[in-house]
Amino acid sequence: MRYLYWATAVALAASLITDRQKTWTALRLATKKLWKILPAFLVMLVAISVTLYLIPDALMLKVLSNPRPWISVWTASLLGSVALIPGFVAYPMCGILHARAVPYMVLSAFSTTLMMVGVVSFPVERGYFGTRVTLMRNLVSFGIALVVALVTGLVFGEVTL
Amino acid sequence: MKRRTLYMLLVAAYLAFIGISFVACYDPGRQMGRSLAYFAFEMLKILPCAFILIGLFEVWIKRQTIEKHLGRQSGLKGHLLGILLATTTVGGLYVSFPMAYSLHHKGARLEVIFTYISASAICRVPMTIFEASFMGGKFSLVRLLVSIPLVVVTSMVLGRFLEKRHYAVMAG
């Protein structure tokens, strides 16, 4: 996170030194753009907090540790698509789950959909690319995550074809 | 009703619900309120910087540069550059959407920005290191080796399909 602040500070300073006028234009543009998409971001925040309540950790653990891997790969993918959990929470959780004998395949399905498929970020994505394209991208990403999970299962010897 | 108004009404109603929950000691509402505050703060830490960088990008980077490296003639190299650019993303998908939009606005090809968006979800450097430390390097390696080629191929197909249909990205 810190490197974001440094990058922004350095870029802003360099820009100010080179051309003050252009820097103001950039900042005005930044504000305008943020303002325009802000409602979608707020709706996303609402969606995150509601889904987090509806899918508590206990339920997540229970669903992911279903003994039948084929079922849990599907439920893990669906769960990962709906949830928006930052990586620094999700990966330690996956680590714990793996220690409890949840297969890599299931954790891969969960973490990949978590990162690639965004149901709650739908309003933001839609604001830029429209409903159709957003749907297509998310569906394709879901498919990719399933393939990744399958290959992970094969590589770790958890499933055989 | 405009979508913007609808969104704002929804958010206002939700905030009212959270407020009442705190006054009335309604526990589910209070829990939602806490996670709302937590995530709002997380976004506040990222979004202003991200949008300042996007603004600077829009003002300083020449259209020709983007067109040359990420545009129609860029080929596979454009995708590679898109992935490289994505590895530096902070936050998650929601930061890469406005950036992808600006890139496209400056002449980056549709298929390249699809690669950029997906790559920003799966191969951010800090996140991958973190993942590997909990799940093992083999897990991360398999994920990257399988997902990146799939991302590039599907982005090509999706991008070209939409270009043929004269899809235009909306104003954002």
User: What is the per-residue pLDDT for B81?
Assistant: 96
Judged by a CB distance cut-off of 8 A, whether residue B122 touches chain A is: yes
Both A67 and A111 in a single domain? Answer: yes
Domain end residue (candidates: A54, A71, A97): A54
Both A69 and A45 in a single domain? Answer: no
How many domains does chain A contain in total? 2
| CB-CB under 8 Å, B97 with A124 | yes
Other Cβ atoms less than 10 A from the Cβ of A1: the count is 11
| CB-CB under 8 Å, A1 with B143 | no
Question: For A8-22, A62-76, B19-33, B41-55, which range has the lowest pLDDT when averaged over its residues?
Answer: A62-76
Average pLDDT, integer, range B23-36: 95
| CB-CB under 8 Å, B100 with A15 | no
Both A39 and A84 in a single domain? Answer: no
Average pLDDT, integer, range B110-138: 94
User: What is the per-residue pLDDT for B37?
Assistant: 96
| CB-CB under 8 Å, B31 with A39 | no
Model confidence pLDDT, tens digit, residues A84-134: 888 788 899 899 889 988 999 999 999 999 999 999 999 999 999 999 999
Report the gap between the CA of A102 and the closest CA in chain B (Å): 12
Both A117 and A49 in a single domain? Answer: no
Average pLDDT, integer, range A18-44: 96
Both A72 and A124 in a single domain? Answer: yes
Asked whether residue B172 carries a pLDDT value surpassing 50, the answer given is no
Q: Locate A118 and state its tokens.
A: 């965004």
Report the gap between the CA of B101 and the closest CA in chain A (Å): 7
Q: Which chain B residues are closer than 8 Å to A113 by Cβ?
A: none
Q: Is the dihedral of CA B2, B51, A115, A143 positive or negative?
A: positive
Burial string for B94-124 (b: 16+ CB within 10 Å, else e) reads: bbbbbbbbbbbebbbbbbbbbbbbbbbbbbb
User: What is the per-residue pLDDT for B8?
Assistant: 96
Own/partner pairs for A16-22, CB < 8 Å, 24+ apart?
A22/B59, A22/B60
Q: Is the dihedral of CA B15, B19, B20, B25 positive or negative?
A: positive
Both A64 and A30 in a single domain? Answer: no
CA count, 13 A, side-chain hemisphere, A151:
18
ipTM of the predicted structure?
0.92
Report the gap between the CA of A57 and the closest CA in chain B (Å): 13
Other Cβ atoms less than 10 A from the Cβ of B65: the count is 13
Question: For A23-27, A60-64, A109-113, B73-77, which range has the lowest pLDDT when averaged over its residues?
Answer: A60-64
Amino acid sitting at position A126 = R
Asked whether residue B108 carries a pLDDT value surpassing 80, the answer given is yes
Report the gap between the CA of A99 and the closest CA in chain B (Å): 10
Range of the domain at A45: 1-54
Binned at pLDDT 50, 70 and 90, residue B48 comes out as very high
User: What is the per-residue pLDDT for A56?
Assistant: 84
Q: Locate B115 and state its tokens.
A: 């690669």
Judged by a CB distance cut-off of 8 A, whether residue B144 touches chain A is: no
Both A72 and A45 in a single domain? Answer: no
User: What is the per-residue pLDDT for A88?
Assistant: 80
| CB-CB under 8 Å, A11 with B56 | yes
Contacts of A82 (CB under 8 A, 6+ apart): A51, A55, A119, A120
> Whole-angstrom Cα distance, residue B151 to residue B79?
10
Both A129 and A65 in a single domain? Answer: yes
Average pLDDT, integer, range B33-58: 94
Average pLDDT, integer, range A9-17: 96
Binned at pLDDT 50, 70 and 90, residue B167 comes out as confident
Mean pLDDT of chain A: 92
Model confidence pLDDT, tens digit, residues B139-166: 999 999 999 999 999 999 999 999 998 8
Nearest to B167 among A12, A23, A133 (CB): A133
- Helix/strand/coil percent split, chain B, to 5: 85, 0, 15
Nearest to B32 among A49, A104, A136 (CB): A49
Both A41 and A81 in a single domain? Answer: no
Q: Is the dihedral of CA A33, B54, B74, A3 positive or negative?
A: negative
Both A91 and A17 in a single domain? Answer: no
Nearest to A94 among B4, B32, B134 (CB): B134
Q: Which chain A residues are closer than 8 Å to B138 by Cβ?
A: 155-156
Both A63 and A140 in a single domain? Answer: yes
Q: Which chain B residues are closer than 8 Å to A8 by Cβ?
A: 49, 52-53
Judged by a CB distance cut-off of 8 A, whether residue B90 touches chain A is: yes
Nearest to A26 among B56, B98, B122 (CB): B56
| CB-CB under 8 Å, A86 with B92 | yes
Residue B169 DSSP one-character state: P
Mean pLDDT of chain B: 93
| CB-CB under 8 Å, B114 with A137 | yes
| CB-CB under 8 Å, B97 with A128 | yes
Give the global pTM: 0.92
Both A85 and A134 in a single domain? Answer: yes
> Whole-angstrom Cα distance, residue A66 to residue B79?
38
| CB-CB under 8 Å, B121 with A116 | yes
User: What is the per-residue pLDDT for B170?
Assistant: 63
Residue B83 CB burial class (10 angstroms; 0-12, 13-18, ≥19): buried
